């Protein structure tokens, strides 16, 4: 094959070009050679400049479409597409004409006569202005989506590596290099792993709570987004590793482009709020009543302007007074105008504005006024899990250490749901402080770790792998060995204990994690000059490579079959709670590294350059303990779920995360009972989409869970609920939640953990990311909704009273005439 696929002649049909349609060619399910052939590219050389230009003519630029918004005039006219507003507009015009007519007839124009129509006009203008302003903000979600796209990429073209190429210039077939920290510029097929492992943080797109390991091996053709492990997606971030990828989709064909399209469609199909629908119905009924009253008033006064005599039983000699006919018509119209509650829009706007202020005091920031009353009508809350019901911060929940002999283990429950080391404590901690076994666990957790934690804007943020950050927080909760606080330079640091351990034993080499041995190791040099290997990884793999175990007093004994079974049972017990488990082990006998200090010229350095040697180095280990980690639920969520059920609001959880993990969280927060049979209440997104009667499933009593849900699944669930007459509130924080947030009757985004895309697509933002704030806001919304209904009744009755008063006044004036 020629450089950049130059063998493609000009005479070939356009269909021979590589397709960007994954339905036609699912690159994730094809091997590397087939992908190269399909996209007509050599991964070493990349595309030629000429081929890039040819493909750009076909596929365009790698950017999201910019949808033209409505013109300002169409937005203004749209604000008057409301029954009550049209009635008020007609009433204002009629009032103005009557005031003018009375002034002409009386010979003197009174300014006060024009106050009523001018006030109505002013109210309508203000309402139209507010409506236009809100509509103008609708496209901001799409703009926010563009901001998460990568701006630059490292590309191979014409056999040359081009750094910092504008990402919008990419075309299908381009070869891209990705490194740690890079934001993925397009949807791409992984061709080659340079590092032993590649991890990508794609939770905002898929809802997964952990970074995902990627591979260059093919996966099933019908895999969902989460299952496409050989693909990296635009807008996600590389957190570990280095690789080369093949661009398969760009622009609107990427997964994030599909989200963009779904948000746009949802924005175009926004419906009236429940209150507006009822006001329209009220306006239609009011119009009919006013019309009947007008005709009735005019007809009962017909004798004053139309009279006749009966001759031989037949009416004769008709007399008609045009002046009196006009006069009584004016009376009828005046009564109709009096019956219209012209102050209603102003009061509704004022009520909503005051409600917005009250909700802001409760950390619920309302972005659109009508959403205040929509909250009061909410019947179903569809909630994302990761970052909404949970903290989206990994935390250690259980620590298992060795006992005093080979037949015992110790288990410690660990509190805390954030990366704040002061959040929570370790229960049943030894009163005398850490024994030798616990010290070894703390040392391995602190040193065999590349993560960090910082404090900014009143929150603790993890840097690096969330699981590693959580383990460092555990080390801080464990504290330091007795007598160790006198030294060290990290007395005020957030991770002062971890820093102390890193000063106590200095890391001189790293054995990177890989998916085969599923562990990471570091070689350290202690202050005494002794070399040790510290390892953490999958418990099963460490047990296989361990031959000894350390007891609580520091003594080392053989790891026999009974001890292995004991640790395996502890692992099964921790895993049954849907906790992610990591084990710790070490090795002191390192003859090859006795004099190694990290230098390139040492013979042992060559061993570290080849990852295939890592398994043999990490053999004959001494096992010391394990931890169970999870993305914990927010503390306030359980009570909020109880309050929702008491208020008659159903809660459905829709997440992109693993089914077992999601079910465990749902049981813990009260969506499901501890022993409830949820076989029919818990489905993955793909299973739900295959159901023949989806609405019947959504009507089931009790809570519902949809796991491994893609953005289109979430949007479909919301759409079906709305079609079934439910008023739907959708909560979320990620890009994958944005289409459903936009389509829901009220979208609620997380203010702290939420992406800008989710915030801009929402109607309300939770400043404290507190799920219980939603329940409080719904209570406030119901109060506002009830108050507005009461005012509508009052103003209607008041208008009828005014109408009766005016009728009497006109009858008195008529008798005087």
Residue among 396, 457, 357 at smallest CA distance from 753: 457
Rg (CA), the chain: 35
CB contact at 8 A, 348 and 302: no
* Among the listed residues 228, 259, 214, the one whose alpha carbon sits nearest the alpha carbon of residue 712: 259
Round to whole Å and give the CA distance between 64 and 262: 12
Q: Give which of 531, 488, 505 is closest to 446, Cα–Cα.
A: 505
| SS3 state of residue 586 | strand
Say how far apart CA 239 and CA 262 lie, in whole Å: 28
Q: Which of 438, 448, 444 is nearest to 481 (CA)?
A: 438
Helix/strand/coil for 748: strand
DSSP conformational letter for 23: T
The DSSP-derived string for 249-287 is E-GGGSHHHHHHHHHHHHHHTPPPPHHHHHHHHHHHHHH
Which residues on neighbouring strands pair with residue 240, listed in sequence order? Answer: 199
Q: Which residues pair with 156 in a beta bridge?
A: 161, 175
What DSSP string runs through 457-494? TTEEEEES-HHHHHHHHHHHHH---TT-SSS-S-TTST
Helix (H) or strand (E) holding 760: helix 756-761
Burial of residue 479 (CB within 10 Å: 0-12, 13-18, 19+) is middle
Q: Any alpha helices (H) in 4-43, and if so which ranges?
A: 32-38
**Which helix (H) or strand (E) element contains residue 628?**
strand 621-630
Q: What are the residues facing 412 on neighbouring strands?
A: 399
Q: How far apart are CA 202 and CA 105, in angstroms?
A: 75
Catalytic residue among 82, 182, 187, 384: 384
* 3-class DSSP state of 462: strand
CA distances 784 to 350, 371, 569, Å, are 11, 11, 55
User: What does residue 773 show for φ and ψ, rounded to 5 degrees?
Assistant: -65, -30
Sheet holding 198-201, edge to edge: 212-214, 198-201, 237-240
By the 10 Å C-beta count (0-12 exposed, 13-18 middle, 19+ buried), 193 is classed as middle
Give the number of other Cβ atoms within 10 Å of residue 186's Cβ.
31
Catalytic (active site) residue 31:
no
In the chain, the N- to C-terminal Cα span, in Å, equals 104
H/E/C letters for each residue in 433-444? CCCHHHHHHHHH
Rounded CA separation 302/661 (Å):
78
Rounded Cα distance, 474 and 496, in Å: 12
Half-sphere exposure of 131 (CA within 13 A, CB side): 21
Catalytic residues: 384
């Amino acid at each position: 094959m020629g450089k950049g696929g130059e063998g493609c002649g000009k005479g070939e049909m356009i269909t021979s070009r590589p397709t960007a349609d994954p339905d036609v060619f699912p690159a994730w399910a094809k091997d590397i050679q087939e992908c190269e052939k399909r996209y007509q590219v050599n991964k070493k050389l990349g595309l030629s400049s000429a081929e890039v230009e040819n493909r750009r003519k076909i596929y365009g630029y790698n950017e999201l479409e910019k949808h033209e918004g409505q013109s300002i005039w169409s937005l203004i006219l749209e604000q008057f597409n409301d029954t009550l507003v049209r009635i008020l507009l007609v009433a204002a015009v009629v009032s103005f004409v009557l005031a003018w007519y009375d002034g002409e007839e009386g010979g003197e124009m009174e300014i006060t006569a024009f106050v009523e129509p001018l006030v109505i006009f002013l109210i309508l203008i203000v309402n139209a202005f507010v409506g236009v302003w809100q509509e103008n903000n609708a496209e901001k979600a799409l703009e926010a989506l563009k901001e998460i796209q990568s701006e630059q990429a490292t590309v191979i073209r014409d056999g040359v590596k081009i750094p910092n190429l504008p990402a919008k210039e990419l075309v299908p077939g381009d070869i891209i290099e990705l490194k740690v920290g890079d934001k993925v510029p397009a949807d791409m097929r992984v061709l080659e792993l340079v590092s032993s492992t590649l991890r990508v943080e794609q939770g905002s797109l898929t809802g997964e709570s952990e970074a995902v390991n990627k591979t260059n091996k093919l996966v099933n053709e019908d895999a969902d987004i989460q299952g496409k492990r050989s693909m990296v997606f635009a807008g996600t971030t590389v957190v570990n590793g280095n690789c080369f990828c093949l661009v398969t989709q760009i622009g609107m064909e990427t997964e994030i482009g599909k989200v963009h399209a779904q948000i746009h469609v949802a924005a175009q199909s926004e419906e009236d709020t429940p209150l507006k629908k009822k006001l329209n119905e009220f306006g239609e009924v009011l119009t009919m009543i006013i019309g009947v009253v007008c005709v009735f008033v005019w007809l009962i006064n017909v004798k004053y302007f139309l009279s006749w005599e009966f001759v031989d039983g037949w009416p004769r000699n008709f007399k008609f007074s045009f002046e009196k006919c006009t006069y009584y018509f004016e009376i009828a119209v005046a009564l109709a105008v009096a019956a219209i509650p012209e102050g209603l829009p102003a009061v509704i706007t004022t009520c909503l504005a005051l409600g917005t202020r009250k909700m802001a005091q409760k950390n619920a920031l309302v972005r659109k006024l009508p959403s205040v009353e929509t909250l009061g009508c909410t019947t179903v809350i569809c909630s994302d899990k990761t970052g909404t019901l949970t903290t989206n911060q990994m935390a250690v929940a259980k620590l298992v250490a060795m006992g005093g002999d080979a037949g015992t283990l110790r288990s410690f429950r660990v509190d805390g749901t954030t990366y704040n080391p002061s959040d929570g404590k370790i229960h049943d901690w030894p009163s005398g402080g850490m024994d030798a076994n616990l010290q070894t666990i703390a040392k391995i957790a602190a040193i065999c770790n590349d993560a960090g934690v910082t404090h900014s804007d009143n929150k603790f943020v993890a840097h690096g792998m969330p699981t590693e950050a959580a383990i460092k927080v555990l080390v801080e909760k464990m504290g330091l060995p007795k007598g160790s606080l006198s030294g060290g330079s990290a007395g005020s640091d957030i991770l002062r204990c971890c820093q102390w351990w890193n000063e106590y034993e200095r890391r001189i080499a790293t054995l990177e994690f890989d998916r085969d041995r599923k562990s990471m190791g570091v070689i350290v040099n202690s202050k005494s000059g002794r070399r040790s290997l510290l390892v953490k990884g999958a418990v099963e793999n460490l047990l296989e490579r361990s031959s000894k175990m350390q007891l609580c007093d520091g003594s080392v004994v053989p790891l026999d079959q009974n001890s292995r079974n004991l640790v395996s049972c502890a692992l099964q017990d921790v895993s049954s709670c849907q906790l992610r488990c990591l084990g710790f082990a070490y090795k002191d006998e390192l003859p090859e590294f006795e004099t190694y200090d990290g230098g390139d010229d040492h013979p042992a350095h060559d061993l570290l350059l080849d990852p295939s040697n890592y398994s043999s180095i990490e053999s004959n280990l001494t096992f010391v303990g394990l931890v169970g980690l999870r993305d914990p639920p927010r503390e306030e969520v359980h009570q909020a779920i109880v309050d929702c059920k008491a208020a008659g609001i159903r809660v459905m959880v829709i997440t992109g995360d693993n089914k077992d993990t999601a079910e465990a969280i749902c049981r813990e927060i009260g969506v499901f009972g501890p022993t409830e049979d949820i076989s029919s209440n818990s489905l993955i997104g793909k299973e739900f989409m295959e159901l023949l009667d989806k609405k019947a499933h959504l009507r089931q009593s009790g809570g519902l869970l949809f796991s491994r849900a893609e953005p289109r699944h979430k949007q479909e669930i919301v759409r079906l609920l709305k079609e079934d007459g439910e008023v739907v509130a959708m909560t979320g924080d990620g890009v994958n939640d944005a289409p459903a947030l936009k389509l829901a009757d009220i979208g609620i985004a997380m203010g702290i953990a939420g992406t800008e895309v989710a915030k801009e697509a929402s109607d309300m933002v939770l400043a404290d990311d507190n799920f219980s704030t939603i329940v409080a806001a719904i209570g406030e919304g119901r109060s506002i909704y009830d108050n507005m209904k009461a005012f509508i009744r009052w103003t209607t009755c008041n208008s009828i009273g005014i109408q009766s008063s005016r009728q009497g006044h006109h009858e008195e004036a008529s008798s005087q005439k």
